[in-house]
Chains A and B, each alone.
Chain A
């Protein structure tokens, strides 16, 4: 099956800082998605981004499908951004990476 690598594994930010999370895939992914898992375990879909760039408030994502990677940008981070961020693909049978644990300190 497809392999998903995420980096960095852990990220500690001061409130207001910007950061970039990366996701690499071993094969082409037609339906790349980013999720945020809150401390209560629920996965929230942030972006469906098979290619190109999308923005949603302080979050944005870019996928370069030909090079099999995607980036998630967090700008002006807030404590509520803390949690684990996952990327997943390639289709309805989602393969998840191990995640990036983000801790935002006030």
Chain B
């Protein structure tokens, strides 16, 4: 049973460019959340997608956008990259309504984005 798959694992981009990160959720999960983790810090919630719509959003600018496809996979897009966008981007999948508030998150290993 495959867990959460993220691609690519590493990426180097130049300031001002655009980037797309991809996530395939765990089999049976229907919800995908994205987190940004800067070096030495805890992950920060970017947004969550359910039924192909953005359900909730954290404190991130509009340069960060996403999409969820009918097969529940998701993309995170970041436009006009800044040096400060360098971070580990984590995807987590879960099942809406799964078990008494235990959302049963499964995290991927992340995509490490470096902006130069």
Which A residues lie at the B interface, using CB under 8 A?
4, 30-31, 33, 35, 40-45, 48, 50, 86, 88, 91-99
Contact = CB atoms under 8 A, between A and B. Distances in A.
B41 A31 contact: no
Contacts, number: 61
A31 B43 contact: no
From DSSP, what is the main secondary structure of chain A's interface residues? loop
Contacts of B71: none
B21 to A, nearest CB: 14
Interface of B: 31, 33, 35, 40-45, 48, 56, 58, 88, 90, 92, 94, 101-110, 112
A44 B41 CA distance: 16
A91 B105 CA distance: 11
Contacts of B109: 40-42
Given A45-B105, A88-B42, 11 more contacts: A4-B42, A41-B88, A42-B107, A45-B106, A92-B31, A92-B48, A92-B94, A93-B58, A94-B33, A96-B43, A98-B42
Given A92-B33, A95-B45, A96-B44, A43 B101 contact: no
A86 B44 CA distance: 12
A91 to B, nearest CB: 8
A-B pairs with the 7 shortest C-beta distances? A96-B42, A43-B107, A48-B102, A42-B109, A41-B110, A31-B101, A96-B43
A31 B103 contact: yes
12 contacts: A30-B101, A31-B103, A44-B107, A45-B105, A48-B104, A88-B42, A91-B101, A92-B33, A94-B105, A95-B45, A96-B44, A99-B42
Contacts of B92: 43
Contact of A43 (B40, B41, B43, B56): B43
Contacts of B102: 31, 48
Given A93-B48, A98-B41, A99-B42, A41 B105 contact: no
